[in-house]
Amino acid sequence: MTQSSPLALRGITKHFGAVAAIERFDLEVAAGEIVALVGDNGAGKSTLVKIISGLYQPTDGEIVLNGAPVTFRDASDARSHGVEVVYQDLALVDQQPVYMNMFLGRELVKGPFRTLDRGRMANETQELVTELDVRIPSPYARLSDLSGGQRQGIAIARATHWASGLVLMDEPTAALGVAETAKVEETILRLKERGAAVLVVSHNLEQVYRIADRVVVLRRGRQIGTRSIAEVEKNELVAMITGLVQ
């Protein structure tokens, strides 16, 4: 069923001048699958996510979504193809209410004057956060009044709402405490249950073992290997990441 997987990358390569940030990267992520992307600092993980989300154009290679090859001019182009990203530094506006963040750039309007439909945005937000079990005081709460975990929950809920089956995450829990991380991991697992394909960058191997089905290792832009979580020992994973055999 190669044709229908939500994301397929074929020979993705990215050069920044003389620096090869990504070299011939191949990956497929199936619906309902969580793939973790691991590697040392500067390995090229964020670069890969930025390529899939339209922020960078690949030097070479092909991105295939649901069987159709695509090229993105910019982030909003990728977004219109249903590619959603959750960033570590939360791409949210903290002085706006939760519902506004949920619909940022895609606000709902009503009537002949196309005025903002705040009520409907708030209601849909409430439904969505209830479904994903992200606990917030109210969709009208200002984002700056929420905890880091709640905010990341909102970011994930937003991505889920707009994604057409594929959600990318770049270190979604890097800024969170233990309890909040657990909560966000629950949310990620709920996405999987809903049948989303998730590609998540993580530095935390414990986390990778908790949530991922497969893991891809990058080292200095090179794809060292792709393993099923059930079949890879942590030692081996560390060796692949660092290049040192223990």
Ligand X SMILES: Nc1ncnc2c1ncn2[C@@H]1O[C@H](COP(=O)(O)OP(=O)(O)OP(=O)(O)O)[C@@H](O)[C@H]1O
Residue 115 binds ligand X (CB under 6 A): no
| Smallest gap from residue 32 Cβ to Mg ion (A) | 26
Residue 46 binds Mg ion (CB under 5 A): yes
Contacts to other proteins by CB under 8 A: 53, 55, 75-76, 79-80, 85, 87, 90-97, 100, 104-107, 109, 113-116, 119, 122-123, 137-142, 144-145
Mark 20-39 with x for binding to ligand X (rule: CB under 6 A) and - for no binding: -x-----------------x
| Smallest gap from residue 240 Cβ to ligand X (A) | 14
- State residue 14 phi and psi, 5-degree precision: -140, 120
Which residue from 96, 92, 90, 22 is spatially nearest to 52, judged by alpha carbons?
22
* CB of 46 or CB of 125, closer to Mg ion: 46
| Smallest gap from residue 245 Cβ to other proteins (A) | 40
Number of residues in contact with Mg ion under rule CB under 5 A: 1
* CB of 45 or CB of 158, closer to ligand X: 45
The torsion of the CA quartet 156, 162, 168, 173, rounded to 10 degrees, works out to -10
* CB of 130 or CB of 242, closer to Mg ion: 242
* CB of 115 or CB of 246, closer to other proteins: 115
Residue 43 binds ligand X (CB under 6 A): yes
* CB of 121 or CB of 224, closer to other proteins: 121
Tell me which of ligand X, Mg ion, other proteins, none is bound by residue 107, counting a contact when its beta carbon lies within the kind-specific cut-off of 5 to 8 angstroms. other proteins
Residue 45 binds ligand X (CB under 6 A): yes
Q: Please state, in angstroms and rounded to a whole number, the distance separating the CA atoms of residues 67 and 7.
A: 8
221 by Cβ neighbours in 10 Å (0-12 / 13-18 / 19+) ranks as: buried
Q: Please state, in angstroms and rounded to a whole number, the distance separating the CA atoms of residues 86 and 1.
A: 27
Which residue from 171, 233, 216, 163 is spatially nearest to 192, judged by alpha carbons?
163
Q: Please state, in angstroms and rounded to a whole number, the distance separating the CA atoms of residues 89 and 9.
A: 25
Residue 57 binds ligand X (CB under 6 A): no
Question: Is beta strand 166-170 parallel, antiparallel or unpaired with respect to 83-86?
Answer: parallel
Residue 53 binds ligand X (CB under 6 A): no
Quickly tell me which residue has 């590609």 as its tokens: 199
Q: Which helix (H) or strand (E) holds 27?
A: strand 19-29
Quickly tell me which residue has 């903002």 as its tokens: 116
Contact 184, 153 (CB under 8 A): yes
Q: Which positions lie near ligand X, rule CB under 6 A?
A: 16, 19, 21, 39, 41-47
